[in-house]
Structure 1
Amino acid sequence: MGKRKLPKFNTGDTVVVTIYGTVGKVTNIKLLEGEYLYEVNESEGLFKEDCLRLLDEYDGYLLEQEQIDIEYKFLFGDLVKVKGYDQDIFKIVGFRTEIWRYKEDSWEDVIYELTRITDGEWLEADEDELTLIADYDQAETYIKKYGIMLPAKKNQAVLPSPRYQDDNYVDRLLDHYNDYKALYYLFNDKKYKRKMNSIVDQLKSHLGLNSDVIGKD
């Protein structure tokens, strides 16, 4: 019986993922049906040997990588007020970071997903549009103290984001929709499809549409 073939790369090797042009370290090696598969930077995906090259052997184009540290001002369950909705209280139910890079400029936007306490309606807002009312661990006490009525279960509505309360609201939403659509077709990741559906809901709400004429592919 012949010796088993050894993996070409070892844990800790610095490699280039040639299909992306990105650099990382091998963090795990798996053997599947006689073929070695490699985890890079503890990512969920696995790469075949022919998709990787040792950094010092690679002479192709490298996509520059950067380490981005994001400090989130608000956390899940925090109660906040939102600019433009001064009479309402919202709860943080999600957040994401949008990273923008151009030739001569760059920035990161933290976008928070919220639900209104009184009726459960959904909203997105930038970090600088929020004011903290109560931390997540004090949220229930705050609600009880001020006698805020919680909504009954119902279909979730969508409020127009304060970011888009201007003349370019629809155009900007459509731009975001097309961006997420391109990402969905490129990576086939369901999270982009959910974002597309969310934007369609916002467009319908803003335009007063009840049909499914928007967002059909």
Structure 2
Amino acid sequence: MKYNDKPKFNIGDTVVITLYGTVGKITKIKHIDEQYLYEVNESHGLYNENCLVLLAEYRGEMPDKEQIDIEYKFFFGDLVQVNGYKGELFKVVGFRTEIWRYQDDAWEDIIYELTRVTDGEWLEADEEELLLIADADQADVFLKKYGYSFSKHQQPSLSLPPPRDNLSLKIDRLLDAYNDYKILYETFKDEFYVSTLQTITKQLVDLSNSRKERLEK
């Protein structure tokens, strides 16, 4: 085989992979065993020059475009329960669709990215693993105002917390706010949330001291 001292294609060229009829851009060129191999769209595979044609020079038939309609059951901020995490709550912070195509089969997987309400731990889960507890508009209200208990195979049961005095209610609200801002900080790493957490902590200390003094009287 005649050795070419220069690559036929350049990084950035738009080419057709003739094996599949797909279009992409050259993202890397490698020189191996006296031949040039090309990476397309930052994929892991390499193609030799015989498998590629510049799009402007391609005379074959392009494959038909495929339109895919995806219906999402959950959205940003929704409060969900995850199979295998009994009694724990997560918020939806992202989602993506993975599209799989083979010669005799095809499907789409929807993957949701979640953070646990209690400590901000990150988790990925399939759509069928999730149970909606409260949509985004009601999630914070649910967390702050309702007690909850869960069974792995049952819908969540709700119960109002017992009445408390004003001091206890203030402490509970501050604890709710602290948990919310903690999740925000762990998610976005914004120093603004640190100062807010410090302010809430000081208020909690003051209220706890007040309650202690009341009990000692």
TM range, smaller chain: 0.3 to 0.5
TM-score, scaled relative to structure 1: 0.44
Give the structure with the higher percent helix: 2
TM-score, scaled relative to structure 2: 0.44
**Greater radius of gyration (CA):** 2
